[in-house]
Structure 1
Amino acid sequence: MKVVIIGATGATGKELLELLIANPEVTEIIALVRKPLTVKETKLQEVVVDFDRIADWDYDLSADVAFSCMGTTLKAAGSKEAQYKVDYTYQYEFARIAKAKQIPAFILISATSANPYATIFYSRIKGELEQAVEKLNFENYIVFRPGPLIRSNSDRGGEKISISIISFLNKLGFLRKMAPLPVKELAKLMIRYAKNPPPGHTILESEIILDEIKKAD
């Protein structure tokens, strides 16, 4: 299986990249990055891309599946405009290129709150991206909408607080459908779906993701 990925330096993308490298069924990995990776492997090919000009980018890209793992916060981005670039523009242009290169499967990490009509900016971006990529008509389009993600060495203070609160409520029997999920477990499930992608458009809500992971244990 040949794969192409963006967002390989993020929390989930980094775990995904490590698992792809370790997987003997994956023969080639193309990582589109803004700066060189520290990981060096024979089956990993990194391509440094100016994502602000990715619409003009042309590369002899061939793969069985494309993974889009980008994501940021308003605080990290610095402005809504900058966040929109990362959470919508860069990823949509990547999807458009993947479609043009006839890559059959596209796997996107979205959010449980994704809604193109949401009043919350983050939720609306995620929903708009999902909707726009759907219109590209991939043979296999898989959207993961995880709940809170447990990231190692996370510097997202608000995220840590929300995970602590939800974890406490889980122990009391509440919000079980929103149980925090380690990014490594999400990455494992993404690879499972990449190997045998269902036809058409598939959305995996947080509850389904958690159930699928439990079945694999």
Structure 2
Amino acid sequence: MKAVLIGATGAVGKDLLQALLEDARYTEVVAFARRALGVQHEKLREHTIDFDAPATWQELVKGDVLFSTLGTSLKQAGSKEAQRHIDYDYQLTFAKAARANGVKSLVLLSSIGANSKSSIFYLRLKGELDDAVQCLGFDSLSIVRPPSLIRAKSKRFGETASVKFLQAANAIGLAKRLAPMETAVVARSMAALGLDSASGTRIIEGQDVRDFA
């Protein structure tokens, strides 16, 4: 199976790239990134691209399954508009290109609590993307909504939901459901979902993500 990956420089993306390269069922991994990954592997084919110039890379987006883990924080982006451009525009444009080129499956990294009607910007942003990709016509679509992320080495929390949302959730007894999950677990689950040919849309949220690892 040929996998296409965007977001390989992020926390989950790095672990997902490793998982895909280590899984013999994936015979080729094509990664698109804004900078060199610094990874050498016989199965890896890498494209360094400008996401703002889709005409230069759209025809290269070909494979069996697209894994989309691209994203940034509000602090890194500098503004809500800039964050939306990366988290929403880039990923949706890439997904559209993949579908136009015959890619049949999409595995998208989202966030627990994602909702296009949320009053919280981050969760609304993720929810809007979740809604948008469901309209693209992928044969198989898996939307993965993990809880707060933690890296195995650093044990530092990542930004997968707003602090306000987590505080509110804990206050009403959802702490167990929102227990942090290691990025490697999410990555393994996404890799497994990419091999599943089940048709239609699946939304895997919270601790249920572990079931596929």
User: Above 0.5 in TM-score?
Assistant: yes
User: Amino acid of the residue matched to residue 196 of structure 2?
Assistant: N
Given that 1:55 and 1:93 are in contact with CA atoms closer than 8 Å, whether structure 2 keeps it comes out as no
User: Amino acid of the residue matched to residue 49 of structure 2?
Assistant: V
- Which residue in the other structure is 2:96 paired with? 96
- Which residue in the other structure is 1:117 paired with? 117
What SS class does the counterpart of residue 66 from structure 1 fall into? strand
Given that 2:2 and 2:29 are in contact with CA atoms closer than 8 Å, whether structure 1 keeps it comes out as yes
Matches of 2:177 and 2:158 in 1, distance apart? 22
User: Amino acid of the residue matched to residue 50 of structure 2?
Assistant: D
1:126 aligns with 2:126: yes
5+ residue gaps, structure 2, are: none
What's the TM-score, normalizing by structure 1? 0.86
Root-mean-square deviation (CA), in Å?
2.3
Given that 2:21 and 2:43 are in contact with CA atoms closer than 8 Å, whether structure 1 keeps it comes out as yes
Following superposition of structure 1 onto structure 2, how do residues 1-217 of structure 1 map, counting pairs within 5 Å? 1-54=1-54, 57-151=57-151, 152-153=153-154, 175-210=175-210, 212=211
Matches of 1:200 and 1:41 in 2, distance apart? 33
Matches of 1:158 and 1:2 in 2, distance apart? 29
Aligned pairs, how many? 204
1:207, distance to aligned residue in structure 2 (A): 3.4
User: Amino acid of the residue matched to residue 73 of structure 2?
Assistant: T
Shift of the 139–68 alpha-carbon distance from structure 1 to 2, 3 Å rule, reads: same
Given that 2:110 and 2:146 are in contact with CA atoms closer than 8 Å, whether structure 1 keeps it comes out as yes
What SS class does the counterpart of residue 91 from structure 1 fall into? helix
What SS class does the counterpart of residue 208 from structure 1 fall into? helix
Q: In percent, how many aligned pairs have the same letter? A: 40
Bigger CA drift: 72-81 or 9-18? 72-81
Matches of 1:154 and 1:68 in 2, distance apart? 24
Shift of the 57–157 alpha-carbon distance from structure 1 to 2, 3 Å rule, reads: closer
1:27, distance to aligned residue in structure 2 (A): 0.7
Quick check: which one's helix share is greater? 1
5+ residue gaps, structure 1, are: none
Matches of 1:145 and 1:130 in 2, distance apart? 10
Shift of the 206–155 alpha-carbon distance from structure 1 to 2, 3 Å rule, reads: closer
1:56, distance to aligned residue in structure 2 (A): 6.0
1:4, distance to aligned residue in structure 2 (A): 0.3
Matches of 1:60 and 1:75 in 2, distance apart? 31
User: Amino acid of the residue matched to residue 49 of structure 1?
Assistant: I
Given that 2:16 and 2:188 are in contact with CA atoms closer than 8 Å, whether structure 1 keeps it comes out as yes
Matches of 2:60 and 2:199 in 1, distance apart? 25
1:157, distance to aligned residue in structure 2 (A): 8.1
Cα deviation code 1:92-144 (max 9, x no counterpart): 00100110011010000001121111111111110110111101010001000
